[in-house]
Structure 1
């Protein structure tokens, strides 16, 4: 049998009985995991579910992995751990589904009900029809990937972050983009469209072809990443294959390429704003994760960039 004391790190309203001593019968420190500790705490305090718990060695800030055993963490019989309440959590898969649902709801509202937004009907140009189709296809693809392709290394995130995360999609690629692109400025009879490259089928076709290439490439890299992580694990490996020979995150690169094609097609300042904000955000993510790859894998390819081939 092994016993471990768990003390609160800060205020833990859902576990007012802390500190508490947990006993694991017929197990040694080498057999008990941090996940077992979390499960035992949840059994004692049902509202304090495992995703809300951050377990650390007392006096330290770094969270211990659920898979780590007490022995690996340096905790022996009679040792002490600390638990912090991370607050209400939401499943990452649910987060993505909510984020991508925004544009899928908002674009049809602007496209099909122009009189409500602009005060008059908007006969749609070829450009508007194509952009509408591409945006919806993009976010339908993202929803399907979330359900059937993605495997998440972290199960949940703080619930309040959903509003910040959703704002990027619901506002920038939702309200602002839809409001600009489906406006009378781009309609069938607009002088901004007639006689311009934005009414040229070859130009629109070229941009659409670039978009399709980027979307299919993005999907391919997502499937490749999925295959690196067996279901139910957090296993990590060096990604190889299409796109990965040049950058660590080709999925981000192809995502940016897809939106660049739409921005180029429309010439909308709003579309370019979304590209700029998205590219900056994904670049920050890629650089951080690329650094982690190089730290965790000593044989990580030295010439591989983070997100933009040959550049960054």
Structure 2
């Protein structure tokens, strides 16, 4: 048996005083968390961050506790949690609700009816299909390395999609300026059927490519584990995060088509945000796989960054 002393990492934790737990030598950190949850039912496993005392790095759930014998541990209360899958579904449903309101009921928003141009019809289809694809991938494709995230984060994450891709873009693109009779549309490339079909081709290419990279990432992670293999193949031969790259390509199509203020805003925001995520994952890959990781790969943009 191994005896572990666990102290609260901060004031206000559901664990009020040091706790001693006896577990078998082959027990895992997850089993220790489960025992804490038995003694403190409100302190569920997902709320606990277990680490060595004085160390901020969390112990992995699958780590054996035999090496921790005689060492003091601390547990941090992460607060109420929500599953990543649920958070993603809430994030992506926003644009699916907001865009139809502006598209089908323009008189309520702009005070007048809007005869939709072909451009507005295409953009509406692109947005709806994009976020419907994301919802389906969340349910049937994605495997998450972390089961939960802090509940309050759902508001921050949702605001990014609901406001930027939902409200701001919908207000801008479905207004009379982009209607079928607007001078901004009539006689321009935005009203050219061939241009719209070419744009659709690029958009479909980006969406299918994004989906393929998600399938590759799914297959790298066995069900029910946090194990991650080295990604190879389509897209990954050039960058560490081709899913982000193809995401940017898809939204760039809408920027080129509409030239709207909102589209410029969210493409800049998307590039900045995804660049940070991509660089972090790129560095984690290099640290995890060392010399095995291809040196020529960039983080997000082929041959550049």
TM-score (norm 1): 0.95
Q: Which runs of 4+ in 1 moved over 3 A?
A: none
Residue 192 of structure 1 is matched in structure 2 by: 184
Q: Secondary structure at the match of 1:297?
A: helix
Residue 54 of structure 1 is matched in structure 2 by: 49
1:62-141 matches, cutoff 5 A: 62-71=57-66, 74-76=67-69, 78-141=70-133
Bigger drift between 1-10 and 220-229 goes to 1-10
| Distance in 2 (alpha carbons) for counterparts of 1:57 and 1:70 | 11
| Distance in 1 (alpha carbons) for counterparts of 2:91 and 2:171 | 18
| Distance in 2 (alpha carbons) for counterparts of 1:218 and 1:151 | 16
Q: Which whole-Å deviations, capped at 9, do the CAs of 1:182-233 have from their partners, x for residues lacking one?
A: 0000011111111111000111111111000000000000001100110001
Q: Is the 8 A contact 2:52 2:71 kept in 1?
A: no
Q: Does 1:181 align with 2:169?
A: no
Q: Does 1:158 align with 2:121?
A: no
Q: Is the 8 A contact 2:13 2:76 kept in 1?
A: no
> Which runs of 5 or more residues in structure 1 are unaligned?
none
Q: Aligned residue pairs: how many?
A: 304
| Distance in 2 (alpha carbons) for counterparts of 1:234 and 1:166 | 25
| Distance in 2 (alpha carbons) for counterparts of 1:186 and 1:79 | 66
| Distance in 2 (alpha carbons) for counterparts of 1:132 and 1:261 | 13
Q: Secondary structure at the match of 1:255?
A: helix
Match among 226, 231, 238 for residue 239 of structure 1: 231
What is the CA distance between 1:20 and its match in structure 2?
Answer: 1.3
What is the CA distance between 1:14 and its match in structure 2?
Answer: 2.3
Match among 32, 35, 41 for residue 40 of structure 1: 35
Q: Secondary structure at the match of 2:57?
A: coil
| Distance in 1 (alpha carbons) for counterparts of 2:161 and 2:208 | 21
Residue 22 of structure 1 is matched in structure 2 by: 21
Match among 294, 302, 305 for residue 309 of structure 1: 302
Q: Does 1:293 align with 2:288?
A: no
Cα RMSD after superposing both structures = 1.0
Q: Is the 8 A contact 1:11 1:85 kept in 2?
A: no
